[in-house]
């Protein structure tokens, strides 16, 4: 997928006009890009549209309109767009209760290296996590991790041909496996070249 440029973005003024419709479009789009691994752990697969939305919102919140500031946001978020041979996702550990969340994060140290995706007929592909910066501490993992799943050409061909996908976590504090629903599988296949 092509990376975003300044030309792909709305000006602050134009974004204010189109924000409600654009947000609705992105919310609908994201329905096919969220994978609940279990009750508390989800993968949110990124693409050019989801990343554009994040950039637009940051520009709006921070009131960034100068070229240098826009270039900085593009540099931060563009690496989250898949490259055609991988999937990129935000992994979130989600607990509504703060006490329960703190306990889970302490139990799940290292979980970011144990999240996997699997194209039917091939080995599991484990996440390459947090390449931009270390998010955990010796006492707990973070509740948000950025992940990349690198695929071989044969995996890509199979996924594009409709092979089933599975996902899971292989961690002592949280072991789970699930089938990737067809709508998410189709969206992920479209990310591949």
Query: pLDDT means per 10 residues in the chain (193 residues)?
Result: 93 97 98 97 98 97 96 95 97 96 96 97 96 77 96 98 98 96 97 96
Q: Does 171 map to a domain?
A: yes
pLDDT of residue 133: 66
Domain span at 97:
9-190
3-state helix, strand, coil in the chain (%, to 5): 40, 25, 35
Q: Does 1 map to a domain?
A: no
Q: Does 72 map to a domain?
A: yes
Q: Does 3 map to a domain?
A: no
What's the CA gap between 139 and 109, in Å, rounded? Answer: 7
What's the CA gap between 169 and 103, in Å, rounded? Answer: 18
Q: Does 181 map to a domain?
A: yes
Q: Does 2 map to a domain?
A: no
Our count of domains for the chain comes to 1
Q: In what order do the strands lie in the sheet with 174-179?
A: 125-126, 115-119, 165-171, 174-179
Q: Does 101 map to a domain?
A: yes
| Cα–Cα distance list, 101 to 95, 104, 105 (Å) | 5, 5, 6
Q: Does 124 map to a domain?
A: yes
DSSP state for residue 87 in the 8-state scheme: E
pLDDT of residue 132: 72
């Amino acid at each position: 997928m092509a990376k975003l440029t300044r030309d792909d973005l709305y000006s602050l003024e134009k974004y204010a006009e189109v924000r409600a419709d654009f947000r609705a479009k992105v919310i609908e789009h994201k329905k096919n890009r969220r994978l609940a691994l279990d009750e508390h752990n989800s993968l949110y697969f990124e693409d050019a549209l989801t990343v554009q939305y994040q950039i637009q919102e940051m520009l709006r919140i921070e009131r960034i309109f100068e070229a240098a500031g826009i270039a900085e946001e593009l540099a931060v978020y563009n690496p989250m767009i898949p490259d055609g041979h991988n999937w990129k996702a935000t992994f979130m550990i989600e607990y509504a209760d703060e006490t329960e969340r703190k306990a889970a994060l302490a139990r799940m140290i290292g979980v970011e290296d144990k999240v996997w995706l699997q194209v039917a007929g091939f080995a599991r592909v484990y996440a390459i996590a947090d390449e931009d910066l270390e998010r955990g501490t010796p006492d707990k993992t973070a509740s948000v991790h950025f992940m990349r799943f690198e695929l071989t050409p044969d995996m890509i061909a199979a996924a594009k041909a409709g092979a089933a996908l599975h996902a899971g976590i292989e961690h002592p504090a949280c072991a789970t496996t699930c089938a990737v629903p067809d709508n998410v599988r189709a969206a992920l296949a479209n990310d591949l070249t």
